[in-house]
Amino acid sequence: MAWKRLIFLFLFLSSIVEAKELNLKKIISLDEPWGSTFISDDELLITEKSGKIKLLNIINNNISEIDHDLKVLNYGQGGLLDIIFHNNSVWVSYTEQRENWETSTSIAKGLFDKNKIDFKNIFQASPPIDSPYHFGSRLAIKGDYLFASLGERGQGMIAQDETKHPGSIIRIHLDGSIPKDNPKFKNKRKWLPEIYQIGVRNPQGLTLSPFDGKIYISNHGAKGGDWFGEVKEGENYGWKILGWGGTNYSGTKIGPKWKPGFTKAIQYWVPSIATSAITIYKGEEFKEWNGYALITSLKDKSLRKLDFSDKKNVKEDIVFKNKIGRIRDIQIHPSTGKIYFLSHNALWLMEKS
């Protein structure tokens, strides 16, 4: 068994060396930031949950606020959420008050301007629900398609109702129009036309892989059962029939980790780590990580690296933990490959020492 001890020692020493090579630097303080997107090598757009959009120059740290006309409701887990920039346009997901205290996860699009962005709604989750929980929501662009993850608003089995948006992944065109090859128009006739996949709980990570062109997602379980997996057309991740290894907060069982007929995740975490934003790394700064999934966490405040090239033997490493607080977002610099994080109250940079 001596060879096993040698392998363990090698892996342990490798992780220590890797940790020593990393340098984490606080760039600027923020107020509950949620989403971010590069618009150039030098500039980053950042959302704050309260409703503010900030423009940051990462060279000189100058920061300014961009006016907008969104009526954002900063309510419970909701507020101004994700943001994505593409071809001089900006898309945001946000909590919108609809009727009385009923709210939805909505998506708006606007032409980028450094002074003011005039947004227009291109999607509103239906039905609006009176709940402060589980809005999601991340955005990802693939070609002419916009993918968005929608939380089930704490309503459980609504995620199995294909006639309602909460608890699903949607796919629309960049202008908000509906693709004619979405599941509804193939063989899922009862599905709402925007829905691409169902059965998620509170998905706060969504990203396009630059390697295989697939969309990947992370999702909060209940008390345990977080996961990372692939978005698959017309399929069902199983919430709340499946518990993904977790239980209700009362301690009662939800359902099995997985069973045939449902989408199987690539990686599960029990107990929960509260997965948040994710990305598939591609860059020069950490080129040895190319193709790996980087998973950020709110609960244990960690960055995790997954080699999922072999789905039957996923290899996971904790890159760091308890260094910058709860991690809400992650972005890779488009040229350098350095990594930027949003914590609960700041923007951080990670580079090699």
Q: What is the pLDDT of residue 236?
A: 98
In a domain, 296, yes or no: yes
C-alpha span between 85 and 75 (Å, rounded): 25
Domain span including residue 143: 25-352
**Side chain identity at residue 252, one-letter code:** T
- Paired residues of 236 in beta bridges: 198
Question: In Å, what is the CA distance from 170 to each residue of 4, 110, 219, 235?
Answer: 46, 19, 15, 12
- Both structure tokens of 73: 């409701």
C-alpha span between 106 and 148 (Å, rounded): 10
C-alpha span between 143 and 217 (Å, rounded): 18
C-alpha span between 182 and 186 (Å, rounded): 7
In a domain, 56, yes or no: yes
**pLDDT exceeds cutoff 80 at 5:** no
Tens digit of each residue's pLDDT (9 = 90 or more) over 219-269: 999 999 999 999 999 999 999 999 999 999 888 999 999 999 999 999 999
Q: How many structural domains does the chain have?
A: 1
Confidence of residue 34 (pLDDT cuts 50, 70, 90): very high
Q: What is the pLDDT of residue 17?
A: 42
- Both structure tokens of 259: 């069973």
In a domain, 127, yes or no: yes
What average pLDDT does this structure show over 298-311? Answer: 96
Q: What is the pLDDT of residue 16?
A: 44
pTM score of the predicted model: 0.94
Q: What is the pLDDT of residue 2?
A: 52
Tens digit of each residue's pLDDT (9 = 90 or more) over 102-125: 999 999 999 999 999 999 999 999
Averaged pLDDT of the chain: 94
In a domain, 102, yes or no: yes
Q: What is the pLDDT of residue 353?
A: 87
In a domain, 19, yes or no: no
The CATH number covering residue 113 comes to 2.120.10.30
In a domain, 12, yes or no: no
**pLDDT exceeds cutoff 80 at 3:** no
In a domain, 15, yes or no: no
**22 or 17, greater pLDDT:** 22
**pLDDT exceeds cutoff 80 at 154:** yes
Residue with tokens 């169902």: 198
In a domain, 135, yes or no: yes
Contact between residue 112 and residue 88 where contact means Cβ atoms under 8 Å apart: yes
